[in-house]
Chains A and B, each alone.
Chain A
Amino acid sequence: GAVVSQHPSRVICKSGTSVKIECRSLDFQATTMFWYRQFPKKSLMLMATSNEGSKATYEQGVEKDKFLINHASLTLSTLTVTSAHPEDSSFYICSASGGKGIDGYTFGSGTRLTVV
């Protein structure tokens, strides 16, 4: 089955620094990947759609300059949280589809970001 690898799984950073999170599709090509954010005991909130070779599409209320998305290849999308602040602390998860709609979307293992 489709496998999505996300790295790092946990990161602690100082306020004001930037953090990069990688999402890789290991055994399939993904022209589109999705980035979600999840607060404790809450649902997944779609942040943006990452498109290979073009600009990401952000959901309403998500700051483009704050959350930089780069989809440089068919197997890699990165999310950079710039100038992180404590309120950015959250669980960030990426997902991608292997292409067959009936297989749903495969999620990465998630990245727990803590900004201190």
Chain B
Amino acid sequence: QQPVQSPQAVILREGEDAVINCSSSKALYSVHWYRQKHGEAPVFLMILLKGGEQMRHEKISASFNEKKQQSSLYLTASQLSYSGTYFCGTEGADSWGKLQFGAGTQVVVTP
């Protein structure tokens, strides 16, 4: 079952912050975050494991609320290179290894 991602799109000025949310209706083992540039394959950013710590990739961090089956990705002091479409991929507790991706959040960072 596809997780729900919000917002659909966000436009930021360089240096601003943003939050992307991902929620699932099923019990999760992990949440992955990927960024995809136009015409390219998705690139792995980080994984949040059940019972694990908050993760960080440069100035991008993420959290995982196991009780609510929700994850949030925090873009802090955004850079131009952060532009792209961000996808969360959820791995169900009963379907290890198989990722279901959210619809994506398009992020545009302007100078």
- The answer for the CA separation of A45 and B103 in the assembled complex, in Å, is 10
What interface size band does chain A fall in? Answer: 20 to 34
Chosen A-B contacts, 28 in total, with CB atoms closer than 8 Å, are: A34-B97, A34-B98, A34-B99, A36-B101, A42-B104, A43-B2, A43-B102, A43-B103, A43-B104, A44-B89, A45-B101, A46-B98, A93-B42, A95-B99, A97-B97, A101-B47, A103-B44, A103-B47, A104-B32, A104-B44, A104-B45, A104-B47, A105-B44, A105-B99, A106-B44, A107-B34, A108-B41, A109-B41
A104 pairs with B41, CB closer than 8 A: no
Chain B residues in contact with chain A, CB under 8 A?
2, 30, 32, 34, 40-47, 49, 87, 89, 97-104
Q: Report A35-56 CB contacts with B as 1/0, cut-off 8 Å.
A: 0100000111110010000000
